[in-house]
């Protein structure tokens, strides 16, 4: 047994099958396009890739060429035909993929799955093809059959290796890949046709949702302090895994399982391409956002939520940490604002806002219970902007008004359906609207969908109509473009708003 030849054959066939399968899965996928991948490009050549991805006419050529290249390169490597040319073409194609999302600009400790600093899967496979290119031995393949071999030159000596039976045995080995290819290809086709989904190739897994091509226009922007931000702001709950899923205990872990670091970065890049230029995050997500911005060179604005260290009476520690993370806007977290007001510690809120401003940052104040903001207003504590839960209570899981208690959000969860159980975040909608109407600083509404109990069309319209200048919404990747389009439609057709626009 020629073990070296066997190893190289397996090595070549494995790479060929990867190319071939990627090509076939894209060919069989409904409406597959590389536009999203190219449009979210980062790195030194992002302008070129984004130009490609943003043009439907160019993508109508790029997509078929990409699929054809994958299939032809994979088929040639698998069968062992035109190996040198296929290896060169494969290296070129992989380098094009590599520079679309190069793993540059991060520290040695910052990495995502399959994409370490500088070296990622595309580079490794390109190096493997380069090795195959320079190896004299190519393994068994159709290239060795007489019908594909070069013609013998006149007077060229015939070299016999071993007995004549070797040529027949080699021919059999060279042909062995053909039925194997047929079996694998038939299996992949049958799987795709049966289940309607590609379960093996991550590049072609798609969840329903609108694509960037379906954007209805440019997302309107406003200003908070000196920052121009999109009227629709990305929320941090889904990324952080805080689901507010009422009594569905498995949902937070399901969210975290879906939103891997890679998926978070993909979602953020998609959101930026769709026009969302700001995200509002819980403090624990600061490290992830810092890593994302370093890896991608993103300019997304980060609003971070901070809270005091009450145990050590250090009210500024998290403000200073947030500044070190490089955030853009700082706001006092909603539940901590509620608790401080509930415990009659408004002076701490005032000190925190003053410290944020003294560091040159825009200072926000969030709450779930409107009574907190009213109490601050009465003693003259006014932030640069408010962030307030804003949704109506016309949905099934909202408990009766007569059973609602101020400051119960983020408090005890009751088994009684008539009491709070992570199900309501704007306890007194009319009271909230009344407060927002008289506010003289921008207002950002959040939990506008009551953690998924209200449709975006309804929730967005209610919040904007009742005075919100911005809305903060947690989104999965497949919801991003739809939510942007709904925001555009809502603001274009908005009726009945009495409050003037701030920001």
Task: Give, rounded to a whole angstrom, the gap between the first and last alpha carbons of the chain.
Answer: 76
CA 253 to each of CA 237, 412, 477: distance values in angstroms, whole numbers, following the listed order: 13, 21, 17
Contacts of 17 by beta carbon, 8 Å cutoff, 6+ apart? 74, 78, 184
Nearest to 407 by CA among 390, 428, 381: 428
- pLDDT at residue 295 tops 60: yes
pTM of the model: 0.67
Q: Where are the beta strands (DSSP E) in 140-274?
A: 221-224, 227-230, 232-235
Higher-confidence position of 152 and 84? 84
| Average pLDDT of the residues in 8-31 | 86
When pLDDT is averaged across residues 346-364 and rounded to a whole number, the result is 98
In this predicted model, which residue has the larger pLDDT, 143 or 489? 489
Cβ–Cβ under 8 Å, residues 39 and 99? no
Tens-place pLDDT, residues 369-408: 999 999 999 999 999 999 999 999 999 999 999 999 999 9
Q: Among the residues of 411-479, which ranges form H helices? A: 429-438, 456-465
pLDDT tens for each residue of 153-188: 455 444 443 344 455 555 555 555 555 555 555 555
- Residues comprising the chain, all counted: 503
**Residue 200 has what pLDDT?**
42
Strand partners, 304: 281, 330
103-126 per-position pLDDT tens digit:
875 444 444 445 567 888 888 999
Q: What is the predicted pLDDT for the residue at 419? A: 94
Is residue 392 within 8 Å of residue 359, measured between CB atoms? no
Per-residue pLDDT at 160: 41
Partners of residue 112 on adjacent β-strands: 115
- CB burial class (10 A; 0-12, 13-18, 19+) of residue 340? buried
Return the percent helix, strand and coil in the chain, to nearest 5.
50, 10, 40
Which of residues 305 and 8 earns the better pLDDT score?
305
> What does the pLDDT read at residue 410?
85
Which tens digit of pLDDT belongs to each residue from 441-476? 999 999 999 999 999 999 999 999 999 999 999 999
């Amino acid at each position: 047994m020629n073990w070296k030849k066997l190893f190289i054959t397996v090595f070549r066939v494995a790479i060929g099958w990867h190319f071939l399968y990627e090509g076939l899965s894209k060919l069989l996928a409904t409406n597959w396009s590389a536009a999203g991948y190219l449009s979210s490009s980062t790195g030194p050549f992002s302008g070129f890739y984004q130009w490609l991805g943003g043009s439907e006419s160019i993508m109508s050529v790029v997509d078929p060429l990409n699929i054809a290249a994958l299939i032809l390169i994979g088929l040639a490597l698998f069968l062992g035909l035109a190996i040198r040319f296929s290896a060169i073409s494969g290296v070129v194609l992989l380098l094009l993929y590599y520079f679309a999302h190069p793993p540059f600009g991060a520290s040695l400790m910052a990495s995502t799955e399959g994409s370490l600093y500088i070296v990622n899967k595309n580079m490794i496979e390109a190096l493997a093809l380069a090795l195959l290119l320079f190896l004299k031995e190519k393994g068994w393949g159709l290239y060795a059959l007489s019908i594909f071999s070069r013609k013998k030159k006149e007077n060229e000596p015939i070299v016999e290796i071993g007995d004549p039976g070797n040529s027949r045995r080699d021919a059999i080995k060279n042909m062995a890949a053909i039925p194997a290819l047929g079996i694998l290809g038939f299996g992949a086709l049958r799987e795709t046709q049966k289940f309607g989904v590609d379960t093996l190739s991550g590049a072609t897994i798609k969840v329903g949702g609108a694509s960037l091509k379906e954007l209805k226009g440019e997302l309107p922007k406003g200003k908070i302090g000196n920052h121009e931000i999109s009227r629709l702001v990305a929320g941090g709950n889904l990324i952080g895994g805080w689901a507010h899923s009422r009594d569905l205990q498995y949902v937070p872990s399901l969210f975290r399982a879906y939103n891997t670091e890679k998926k978070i970065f993909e979602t953020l890049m998609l959101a930026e391409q769709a026009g969302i230029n700001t995200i509002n995050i819980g403090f624990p997500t600061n490290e992830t956002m810092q890593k994302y911005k370093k890896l991608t060179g993103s300019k997304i604005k980060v609003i971070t939520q901070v809270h005091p260290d009450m145990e050590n009476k250090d009210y500024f520690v998290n403000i200073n940490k947030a500044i070190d993370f490089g955030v853009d806007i700082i706001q006092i977290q909603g539940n901590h604002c509620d608790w401080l007001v509930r415990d009659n510690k408004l002076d701490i809120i005032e000190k925190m806002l003053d410290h944020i401003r003294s560091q040159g940052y825009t200072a926000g104040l969030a709450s779930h219970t409107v009574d907190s903001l009213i109490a601050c207003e009465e003693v003259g504590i006014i932030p640069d902007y408010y962030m307030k839960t804003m949704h109506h209570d016309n949905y099934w899981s909202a408990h009766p008004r007569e059973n609602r208690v101020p400051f119960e959000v983020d408090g005890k969860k009751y088994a009684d359906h008539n009491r709070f159980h992570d199900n309501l975040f704007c306890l007194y909608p009319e009271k909230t609207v009344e407060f927002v109407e008289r506010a003289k600083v921008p207002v950002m509404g959040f939990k506008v969908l009551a953690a998924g109990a209200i449709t975006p069309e309804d929730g967005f319209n209610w919040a904007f109509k009742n005075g919100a200048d911005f809305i903060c919404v947690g989104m999965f990747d497949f919801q991003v473009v739809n939510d942007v389009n709904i925001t555009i439609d809502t603001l274009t057709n908005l009726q009945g708003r009495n409050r003037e626009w701030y920001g």
